[in-house]
Amino acid sequence: MGKMPSVTVEVGAFSAAATLTSGQCFRWTERDGKLCGTAFGRYVEMRQEGGTLTVFGADRQEYDRLWRGYLDLSRDYEAIRREVTAIDPRLGECAAYAAGVHILAQEPWEALCSFVISQNNNIPRIRGIIGRLCLLCGTPALRGEQAVDEAEGYAFPTPEALAEVSEQTFRELGCGYRAAYLTELSRAAAEGRIDFDAIKKAPIDEARKKLRLLKGVGPKVAECALLYGFGRLECFPIDVWIRRALETEFAGGTALMDSPFAGVAQQYIFEYIRRHPPR
């Protein structure tokens, strides 16, 4: 058994904890001072000390190929903060508070399914459902060259694997009414009726339309999937927290929604407002 690889990099103001626990994804757990999770079938553990991040389970080549992009570490977030706060100066306090948060570049299929499951749901339940789905029909993730025996160490199931799951089984896993959505969504993806590449490249209104044609995908799910799974930073998901902000501190702040970085602005508002709720 070879030594487990690791890589240490400088990440500046980025915060792994704030990013990975911000509600963008549901596969990461904080344990023993590390963030443990799986993406793209690879399991790693991350520890951050100041501006230094160590990724355990990945070598430099894997980090450059996968994790740098997943954590969006090559993008200039300081420039983005300047741009969005120039659009609406009221964003300044939120952007400063959540400066370490990046938008994750997740697999489109996983993001789409995750946000279908997230409808009218809370994060602990979402995490539980996704974890059970992965245990049921995901494959063990790899850490280095070894398969992982950890609760978080299963790859998200492929469309083909989920298409074999019955609607009743989805219900038994806790999906509730969303079971019917997952059944149809999985079959559509497995049969090639969802062109993920075309959605990623389409003009944004066309991409929204394509996703909203899918059963169980409304405006909020489509915006979340596009932002967190298709890299469409111009998307601006509106949940109860954001709606509250738009009715209070950010009343009339619709100009932010037209920014090419609307999704980053939204994330800053979300992080701030849920910890500093309006009175």
Residue 231 has pLDDT above 50, yes or no: yes
Kindly state the average pLDDT of the residues 32-53. Answer: 96
pLDDT class of 199 with cuts at 50, 70, 90: very high
Residue 254 has pLDDT above 90, yes or no: no
Kindly state the average pLDDT of the residues 213-218. Answer: 96
**Alpha-helix runs per DSSP H in 6-91:** 16-20, 60-62, 68-70, 77-87
Residue 242 has pLDDT above 70, yes or no: yes
How far apart (Å, rounded) are the C-alpha atoms in residues 210 and 256?
24
How far apart (Å, rounded) are the C-alpha atoms in residues 193 and 12?
41
Helix, strand, or coil (residue 154)? strand
CB atoms within 10 A of CB 209: 13
Would you kindly state where each structural domain of the chain is located, as residue ranges?
6-97, 108-216
How far apart (Å, rounded) are the C-alpha atoms in residues 3 and 72?
28
Residue 273 has pLDDT above 60, yes or no: yes
Contact 167, 183 (CB under 8 A): yes
Higher pLDDT, 15 or 145: 15
What pLDDT score does 170 carry?
97
Backbone phi and psi for residue 246, each to the nearest 5 degrees, phi listed first: -70, -20
CB atoms within 10 A of CB 257: 16
Fold adopted by 108-216:
Endonuclease III; domain 1 (1.10.340)
CA distances from 38 to 77, 96, 112, 213 (A): 24, 29, 16, 29
pLDDT class of 149 with cuts at 50, 70, 90: confident
The question of whether 220 is a catalytic residue gets the answer yes
CATH code, residues 6-97: 3.30.310.260
Tell me the pTM: 0.94
Kindly state the average pLDDT of the residues 41-61. Answer: 96
pLDDT class of 147 with cuts at 50, 70, 90: confident
Amino acid at 32: D
Contact 224, 110 (CB under 8 A): no
How far apart (Å, rounded) are the C-alpha atoms in residues 105 and 65?
13
**Alpha-helix runs per DSSP H in the chain:** 16-20, 60-62, 68-70, 77-87, 92-97, 108-117, 123-137, 159-163, 167-172, 178-190, 196-201, 204-212, 219-229, 240-247, 262-273
Higher pLDDT, 226 or 123: 226
Residue 1 has pLDDT above 60, yes or no: no
pLDDT class of 279 with cuts at 50, 70, 90: low
pLDDT class of 2 with cuts at 50, 70, 90: low
Helix, strand, or coil (residue 143)? strand
Catalytic residue among 3, 210, 215, 220: 220
